[in-house]
């Protein structure tokens, strides 16, 4: 796995060994950022269930202002920190070892322009995360949420959120979500 574009292009990223995490494949990541197709300059990014931090690092490499990477696994946190150091992005990121619920519940900072959600497949966590994001107003006006899920997972997206695009890549499915205006 590597950084595809931007100032850290070509840097290889470490991943966590074992079956608990599934790094986003390079072709899925490439497609994801092509679909976003907007300038990431000054974008405030949240990478929940961050794993290796690859999505946040790709966004930072492409010009995002800052990123917050959240994962409850200490192994994941160690890998994220190593990947940020390797790509020289440590100064642009905050790494948090916590469960997603506690992080969102306690978050008092600026709303995020872009939120990546890549929860464990098959646990139906997306709906709960979206409800918390809405309640705590974690998504900026005009912001976007990108969910990576198993292609067989059925996502129930309730107002004020709407699906703007969905794309399947083998077992993975990317769902792009915005708030209704």
Query: What local confidence, expressed as pLDDT, does residue 56 receive?
Result: 97
Query: What local confidence, expressed as pLDDT, does residue 23 receive?
Result: 65
pTM for the complete prediction?
A: 0.92
Query: What local confidence, expressed as pLDDT, does residue 22 receive?
Result: 60
Asked if residue 130 lies in contact with residue 159, where contact means CB atoms within 8 angstroms, the answer is no
Q: Tell which residue, 80, 35, 31, has the closest CA to residue 60.
A: 80
Alpha-carbon distance values, 157 to 64, 86, 91, 130 (Å): 27, 37, 35, 8
Tell the CATH superfamily of the 26-179 domain: Vaccinia Virus protein VP39 (3.40.50.150)
Q: Residues of 67-104 as b/e, b for ≥16 C-beta within 10 angstroms? A: bbbbbbbeebbebbeebbebbebeebbebbeeebeebb
Beta-bridge mates of residue 112: 139
What is the mean pLDDT for each group of 10 consecutive residues in the chain (181 residues)?
A: 91 78 71 82 95 95 96 96 98 97 94 94 85 92 92 86 92 91 74
Query: What local confidence, expressed as pLDDT, does residue 20 receive?
Result: 54
**For the chain, which residues make up each domain, given as ranges?**
26-179
Query: What local confidence, expressed as pLDDT, does residue 27 receive?
Result: 80
| Cβ neighbour number for residue 35 with a 10 Å cutoff | 14
């Amino acid at each position: 796995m590597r950084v595809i574009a931007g100032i850290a292009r070509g840097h290889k990223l470490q991943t966590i060994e074992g079956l608990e995490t599934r790094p986003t494949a390079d072709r899925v990541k490439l497609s994801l950022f092509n679909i976003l197709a907007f300038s990431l300059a000054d974008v405030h990014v949240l990478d929940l269930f961050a794993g290796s931090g690859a999505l946040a690092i790709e966004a930072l490499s492409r010009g995002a202002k800052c990123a917050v990477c959240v994962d409850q696994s200490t192994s994941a946190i160690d890998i994220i920190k190593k990947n940020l150091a390797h790509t020289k992005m440590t100064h642009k990121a905050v790494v948090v070892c916590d469960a997603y619920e506690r992080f969102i519940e306690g978050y008092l900072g600026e709303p995020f322009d872009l939120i990546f959600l890549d929860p464990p497949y098959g646990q139906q966590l997306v709906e709960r995360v979206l409800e918390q994001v809405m309640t705590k107003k974690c998504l900026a006006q005009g912001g976007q949420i990108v969910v990576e899920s198993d292609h067989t997972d059925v996502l129930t997206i309730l107002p004020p959120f709407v699906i703007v695009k969905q794309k399947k890549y083998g077992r993975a499915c990317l769902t792009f979500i915005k708030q209704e205006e």
